[in-house]
Structure 1
Amino acid sequence: MGEATATLVATVRTFGGEALRDVWLFDQWTHQKLYARDDVEDRLDNLDVTSFIDNERYGYITRDTYESLYYADYDYTVRGFSSFELFRTFLTDDDARVGVLASFDRTEGGYDFGTLSAEVQAILDEYPVSEFTPVDE
């Protein structure tokens, strides 16, 4: 893991603590797991990860749609599942967009995902988006 991706994982880990389940990067062609908690790693063995990530790639289309339809910029998407919440955002510059996925155990009162989004985007002050291009697993 490079310095940029290690910074990303550390940022998400600080936000979620022990509730952090996993962190992924994806682009239009490939994906990379950066972190998975041991109990989640066991469950990933029985999951079609490629299909799951392919579904998240629709975010490239919806992001463009939101950007063209709304008066505000798209920041992130959150989906709630029975035992966890999934956060998705994009790291962008003029030439590149890399998706970031992170999931967290559900918790009483929920999370301030706006804060997480701002913290993840702030990483781009230190590293270019190209540093987050996923490496095919």
Structure 2
Amino acid sequence: MDNRSSVEIFTEWDIVAARQLGRNEAKNSGFGTVDQARITTAISELARNIYLYAGKGKIEIERLSIDGMKGMTIIASDEGPGIPDLRKVMEDGFSTSGGLGAGMPGVKRLMDDFKVESEVGKGTTITATKWLR
């Protein structure tokens, strides 16, 4: 089996599909229910951001096995407007959509590794990894 699967994000239903895929992958990777929920929540936030701000993009989920450590990486990518002020987006409580603002800082807290690459006018790629304890 390939260790990477993905969901294209165009509609709100795709957010649901991405969450479901993430939950299944997390469960199959051996994550407990709490970490499954963390991973699913992170995917939900990332997919929602693609839908709201870029209009379309992709959530990829990759199972990892490196030096005996197992984990899961979520790659959220789009070719949307990009993020003009990354520092501001990473502040707790910051929201441009009127949401709760758990957004990016929330995803960073839920996962173990978190990296954002964004170029205005070109798009954004967010990579977030959770390691199996």
Task: Using structure 1 for the length normalisation, give the TM-score.
Answer: 0.27
Structure 1 or 2: more helix by fraction: 1
Higher relative contact order (CA 8 A, sep 6+): 1
Tell me which protein shows more strand as a share of its residues. Answer: 2
